Structures are given as C-alpha cells and as structure tokens.
C-alpha cells in the first residue's frame, strides 16, 4: 500500500479555477475580470521601465549570486521602512522598526504569523468580513483560530462602520487584528482617515495586536497618502506588525517581493525580535532570493529610478481611476438606472460590484466575461477596448 493512499484531493482555489475556465473559453472578445493583477490599457502585464533599467544595470554588473543574509538586503529593508513611515520618521531613526525581506506579502504574513504563534500561543486572529481569501487559510495553517469582524455593508456598498467598531470592541486583549491599510481586497472599500482614528483608539484601549497588510501602496490615493494609516498606528506608540507587498506596485509578481516590518518599543527589543525572525526564516527557506530584491532595492535607492517608478505607479493608479469613472458613465449610457457611484469611492484594483452570483454566471455564459462569484471585479483588467463591451453586458444582466 502507498503512504499516500489516504490523501484526499484538496479543494481547488476558486480564483485559479476561474482562470482555467477563462483560458479554456474559445469565444473571441472574452474578458477576465477575475484576476488579481494590474493589466495596462493593452491588456498586458506591464514590465515597468524603472524595473527594466534596474535589471539591465544588474546584468551589466555581472553580479555573482551569493546567499543573502537571512533578513535580506539592507537597502531593500530600509526602502520598505521609508515607504511605510517616511524618510524622517523617528520610528526608523530610534531603531524601533525592524524589517525582513520576505517572499511577497504572503511570505511576510506567514513569517509574522509563525512569530506571533510562538509569542501568543492562545490568541485568536480576526480578519475582515470579507477578506483576501488567503488570510484565513494562512493564519489557520499557522495554528490560529480565525474569526471575522464586521466590515462590508452590502446594502450601502460601503463600510459597516458601527458593526466594525462593535466587533473590535468585543475582542479580548491580545487578539491579532488583520487590517487592510489601504485598497481593501476584495471590496475596494476603505475606512476614512477619521474612521481609522476611532479604530486605532479601540485597538489601543483593548490592547489588540494590529497586523497591517499593505499590498497595494500607491494604488489608492498616492504612495504617501496610502501609508497614512500605517503612520497613524505608528504614532500611537503601538507595537505592531506590517506586511508589505511590492508584487503589484513593481509589477514583479513572480519575483516574490515583500517585507515584514515590526514596530517595537525600543532598539534593544528590535534586536531581539529580529533574531527570532531570522530563526523562523532560517528553518523555512534560509534566506530570500536575490534578483527581485536587488531590483526593488535599486529602484528605491536610486533617485532617478525612484522618480521614474513613482511616475509609473501614478500612471497605473490614474488608469484604474479612469476605468472607474468610465464604467459608471457607460453603465448609465447603456440604460442602467441603479446608482453605481459607489464604484468611484472604492480604492485600489478591486470593486465589489454588487452583482449577484447569478448575474456573474450570466456574464460568463452569455458574454464570456469572467468575474468572481462574490461580484468582485478587477477594475485593472478593464481597458479602453473592453470597457464598453463590459458595461453593455452588465447592463443586460441587470435588467
């Protein structure tokens, strides 16, 4: 008998399953709004010029590929901290922040989860309802019970702020709270800065453990603006964790570029905490890969490339914004009477469109347009060639 005889087939990832269906669809003009990546107006995954220049410099330097330190490239980690807290932040100068390069935002969350499990073995984790689907799986796999806090209000297509506050108020001390620092995935709905000020007070009073996930910095209102929640939390003298992903902002998905940053209460604490993170990294994958990290570090630390990158990032952000505006206009033009203005208030790549799973099925069956059954659409998959077709199709399934 085989050792693996009793192994069951794991359920397949719903979004990856959607991509397979899309790829197998022979209809011309098909549109995949189920993806979680940014496409340009030609419907292509961009290779940023800033990235390309940094790569060329790296290849021309004929750099050897030795092992990196367990915590990764120093310039990369410094760059990640600067994006989060700002160049002049006392959090950085006082040594209260420590960062480890990580295998994407996912890797950052996992290192953080493993660290927290050893520190708080009896704590639970709460995630927003709904959240990025991997949050629950990842923290459960790390050994935590995972519950949800109220977040999205389907009736208003906005935030259930009273519900969110009530959920957070009811949590016992040391509950780990996963918060999307900007551009909430999957809804696109973010609290306002004033609402965040209330949230942070509850986190503080109830001694909750904030774990901020920032996977779309630069896709909301701007690089600095999108960090304002991280900076708000940091200013409260809170200890916290932050997972950064550069997958989207550098269009380097497959390079696994992310970072885990912790804010401690002293430099001495930071040294001890980093030593523990290094043990977790050592026993998982020893050290991060060189290529993507070097490229990101070069862009972040070379003034001309940094300026070019911020311009390219602004271009991606503004294109998504344009698609939001056009989608709402075109829905109206195609006779939709329901109010879709909420799409304009949402931030980042995604929109909870309000479409029901039956309407999503009809979009697929009748129009070859693929979306997640929750109604989540990737606004960054819309472009000047497909937006009219998509708006017309949505109009037809709404009536």
Active-site residue set: 132, 213, 248
CB of 336 to ligand PMP, least distance (A): 28
**Is the distance from CB of 206 to CB of 171 less than 8 angstroms?**
yes
Beta carbons of 313 and 225 less than 8 angstroms apart: no
Q: Give dist(CA 377, CA 258) in Å, integer.
A: 24
Closest approach of ligand PMP to the CB of residue 331, in Å: 26
Report the distance separating Cα 244 and Cα 105, nearest Å. 5
Using the minimum distance from each CB to ligand PMP, give the nearer residue, 37 or 57: 37
Q: Cα(77)–Cα(74) distance, rounded to whole angstroms?
A: 5
- The rounded distance, in Å, linking the Cα atoms of 139 and 177 is 11
Burial of 236 from C-beta contacts in 10 A (0-12 / 13-18 / 19+): middle
Smaller CB separation from ligand PMP, 180 or 317: 180
Closest separation in Å from C-beta 293 to ligand PMP: 13
Compare residues 252 and 397 and give the one whose CB is closer to ligand PMP.
252
DSSP string, 341-385: THHHH--SSEEE----HHHHHHHHHHH-EE--TTSEEEGGG--TT
CB closer to ligand PMP out of 164 and 393: 164
Q: Are strands 257-263 and 240-245 parallel, antiparallel or unpaired?
A: antiparallel
Q: How do 176-180 and 209-214 pair as beta strands? A: parallel
Triad 295, 35, 186: Cα angle to 5°? 95
- Closest distance between ligand PMP and the C-beta of residue 26, in Å? 28
The distance of closest approach from Cβ of residue 3 to ligand PMP in the complex, given in angstroms and rounded to an integer, is 31
Residue nearest ligand PMP by beta-carbon distance: 104
Least distance to ligand PMP from the beta carbon of 378, Å? 10
Of 320 and 397, which has the nearer Cβ to ligand PMP?
320
DSSP label at 3? Answer: T
Q: Which residues bind ligand PMP (CB under 6 A)?
A: 36, 104-106, 132, 180, 185, 213, 215, 245, 247, 258
Q: How far is CA 267 from CA 118, 242, 281, in A?
A: 21, 17, 21
Name the residue nearer to ligand PMP (CB basis): 105 or 293.
Answer: 105
């Amino acid at each position: 008998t085989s050792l693996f005889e009793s192994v069951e087939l794991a359920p397949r990832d719903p979004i990856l399953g959607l991509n397979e269906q899309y790829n197998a669809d022979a209809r011309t003009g098909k549109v995949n709004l189920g993806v979680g990546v940014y496409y340009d107006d030609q419907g292509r995954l961009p290779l940023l010029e800033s990235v390309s220049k940094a790569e060329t410099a790296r290849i021309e330097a004929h750099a050897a590929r030795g092992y990196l330190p367990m915590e990764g490239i120093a310039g990369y980690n410094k760059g990640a901290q600067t994006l989060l807290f700002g160049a002049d932040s006392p959090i950085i100068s006082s040594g209260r922040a420590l960062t480890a390069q990580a295998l994407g935002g996912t890797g950052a969350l996992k290192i953080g989860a493993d660290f927290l499990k050893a520190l708080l073995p009896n704590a639970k984790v709460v995630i927003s309802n709904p959240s990025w689907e991997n949050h629950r799986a990842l923290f459960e796999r790390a050994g935590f019970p995972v519950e949800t806090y109220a977040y999205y209000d389907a009736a208003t297509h906005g935030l259930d702020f009273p519900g969110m506050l009530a959920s957070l108020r009811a949590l016992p001390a040391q509950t780990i709270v996963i918060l999307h620092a900007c551009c909430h995935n999957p809804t696109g709905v973010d609290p306002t800065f004033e609402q965040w000020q209330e949230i942070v007070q509850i986190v503080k009073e109830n001694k909750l453990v904030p774990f901020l996930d920032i996977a779309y910095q630069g896709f909301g209102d701007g690089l600095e603006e999108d960090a304002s929640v991280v900076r708000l939390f940091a200013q409260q003298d809170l200890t916290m964790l932050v997972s950064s992903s550069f997958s989207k902002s550098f269009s380097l998905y497959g390079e696994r570029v992310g970072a885990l940053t912790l804010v401690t209460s002293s430099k001495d604490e930071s040294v001890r905490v980093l030593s523990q993170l290094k043990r977790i990294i050592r026993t998982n994958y020893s050290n991060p890969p060189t290529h993507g990290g070097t490229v990101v570090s070069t862009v972040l630390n070379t003034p001309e490339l940094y300026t070019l990158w911020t311009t390219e990032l602004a271009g991606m952000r503004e294109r998504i914004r344009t698609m939001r505006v056009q989608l709402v206009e075109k829905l109206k033009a195609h006779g939709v009477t329901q109010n879709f203005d909420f799409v304009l208030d949402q931030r980042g790549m995604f929109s909870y469109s309000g479409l029901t799973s039956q309407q999503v099925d009809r979009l697929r069956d009748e129009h070859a347009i693929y979306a997640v059954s929750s109604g989540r659409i990737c606004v960054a998959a819309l472009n000047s060639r497909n937006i009219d077709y998509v708006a017309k199709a949505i109009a037809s399934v709404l009536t």
